[in-house]
Amino acid sequence: NCDAFILEGRVTVNDAAVDRLGVRVDPEHDVVTFDGRRVTPPEAYVYILLHKPLRTVTTAKDDRKRRTVLDLIGTDQRLFPVGRLDYNTTGALLITNDGDLSYHLIHPRFMVKKVYRVMLNKMIRPIDLHHFQNGVMLDDRKTSPCKAREMRRMDNRSYLEVELHEGRNRQIRRMFETLGYQVEELSRVNFAGLQVNDLNPGEWRELTAGEVRMLKRMVEEQKDTVLQNEDV
């Protein structure tokens, strides 16, 4: 009971014992101890949605001095991107310091939805689109079935929308390469329900409280589904 500990004189602020409730402290400047041990307040969680632009690496630092996604945000806080987008892939990227949420959003067994817009170097054949949807072999293992539809054709190129629940390295590019196509443009338009329709490439915003609740609720529902499947 924190109130009881304070009244017992076990809490100090700047080396002075606190014997009454309601004392305000500044976590940036005041030193608080409990039974002689310093107490540090938990770091507040930050949730940022970035519209990742081209030619940007999805890391905190880059040995080759390339621009990183954290350079675009310009913060001293210890944040990290949730998952990865390739150097030349654009779109929705979540950046946070919430390790538990990040883990569940990128772990493959939690099946988080990701939607991409793809431009190919030529028009796709219906049979190849069928193969793509049903899975192709990557690294001696077949990809899971996914949704893919051709949205339009222009200048002898196919424009598609692809929905994945996996997250293998360069998965969409490699899947199309296996079928004989090159991805010329790739953008993630939806990550776990987050969209960047209101952001230009390079722009970012903090998530709303409702969006954070949505992510956490989705993770809890996915946890329940995983547990139910394991019990079967």
Catalytic residue among 3, 62, 71, 86: 86
Answer positive or negative: Cα dihedral of 87, 92, 97, 101.
negative
The half-sphere exposure of 140 on its side-chain side, counting CA atoms within 13 A, is: 0
Q: Do 45 and 52 meet the contact criterion of CB atoms below 8 Å apart?
A: no
DSSP, res 212 = H
Quick one: which H or E segment has residue 219?
helix 209-231
User: C-alpha angle 152/155/157, rounded to 5°?
Assistant: 55
C-alpha to C-alpha distance for 218 and 75, rounded to whole angstroms: 28
If 0-12 CB within 10 Å is exposed, 13-18 middle and 19+ buried, where does residue 131 land? middle
For residue 139, indicate whether it is catalytic: no
- The residues that are catalytic are 86
